[in-house]
Amino acid sequence: MEYASNGKANAALTTGIIGTAGVGLGLLGNLLGGGFGGWGANPAAAAMAAGAACSENMPVTRYDLDREQKLAAKDSEIALLKANTYNDQKMLEMYGYIDGQLKDVREALCKQAVHNQRTEDSFTLVKQDVDCVRKEALDAVKMEAERRCCGDNSIVTYVNATFYPKQVADVTTGTATTAQSLYNPIPKCGCCNG
């Protein structure tokens, strides 16, 4: 019996020493910032390092929760940056498309403005030409009218002087003559002395 109780005592002592050493190593790991696999800082990590299966109802320390929250915040920030980059890229593509369309519209408007100015200039030139031709035509008609007036008056004056008697015998006395007034049906145009 003595041996049996002595064996039990040795086994208990050995187990206590190993347990104390494990706790000491865990505390040392915490002090050194998670050395030795972080056994003392994270019981789940210690269990996983020891080969135990992790279950959903394992306790989580506040340090693990804080680390997971920081990782989730960084993941959210990265996702937001990626989304902003994607949105910026799509906005640039849309701007390029709209700018291309506006360039086409501006080009068409510029061509139309040039065409409109050319048409307006053409109408202005035609109006000037028409005014010039009208003035020349009116001047030519006026000159022709003056020439005809002078020519007609010359003809009437010639006919009156040549074929119409200037002196007619007085019917009552038979011996005296009376000067006759000449008749010119063409109105005086003021262009000639006929």
**175 within domain boundaries:** no
More confident residue, 121 or 150: 121
Q: What does the mean pLDDT of the chain come to?
A: 75
**147 within domain boundaries:** no
**72 within domain boundaries:** no
Tell me the per-residue pLDDT of 131-148, one tens digit each, with 9 for 90 and over.
Answer: 999 999 999 999 998 888
Asked whether 47 and 26 are in contact (CB, 8 A), the reply is no
State both tokens at 66: 């804080």
Provide the whole-model pTM.
Answer: 0.34
**Pairing status of strand 177-179 against strand 167-169:** antiparallel
**54 within domain boundaries:** yes
pLDDT at 12 > cutoff 90: no
pLDDT for res 131: 94
* Range(s) of the domain holding residue 46: 1-59
Q: What is the DSSP letter of 48?
A: H
Asked whether 157 and 194 are in contact (CB, 8 A), the reply is yes
Query: Which candidate, 163, 147, 161, 153, places its Cα nearest to that of 184?
Result: 153
CA distance 157 to 166: 12
Total number of domains constituting the chain: 1
pLDDT for res 58: 80
**22 within domain boundaries:** yes
CA distance 184 to 160: 8
Q: What is the DSSP letter of 34?
A: S
pLDDT at 153 > cutoff 80: yes
pLDDT for res 167: 64
pLDDT at 3 > cutoff 50: no
**119 within domain boundaries:** no
**106 within domain boundaries:** no
pLDDT at 23 > cutoff 50: no
Phi-psi group of 37: left, alpha or beta (phi > 0 → left; psi -120 to 50 → alpha; rest → beta): left
CA distance 134 to 70: 93
Beta strands in 36-169 (DSSP E): 167-169
**3 within domain boundaries:** yes
Amino acid at 175: T
CA of 56: how far to CAs of 6, 44, 163, in Å? Answer: 42, 11, 147
Tell me the per-residue pLDDT of 84-130, one tens digit each, with 9 for 90 and over.
Answer: 999 999 999 999 999 999 999 999 999 999 999 999 999 999 999 99
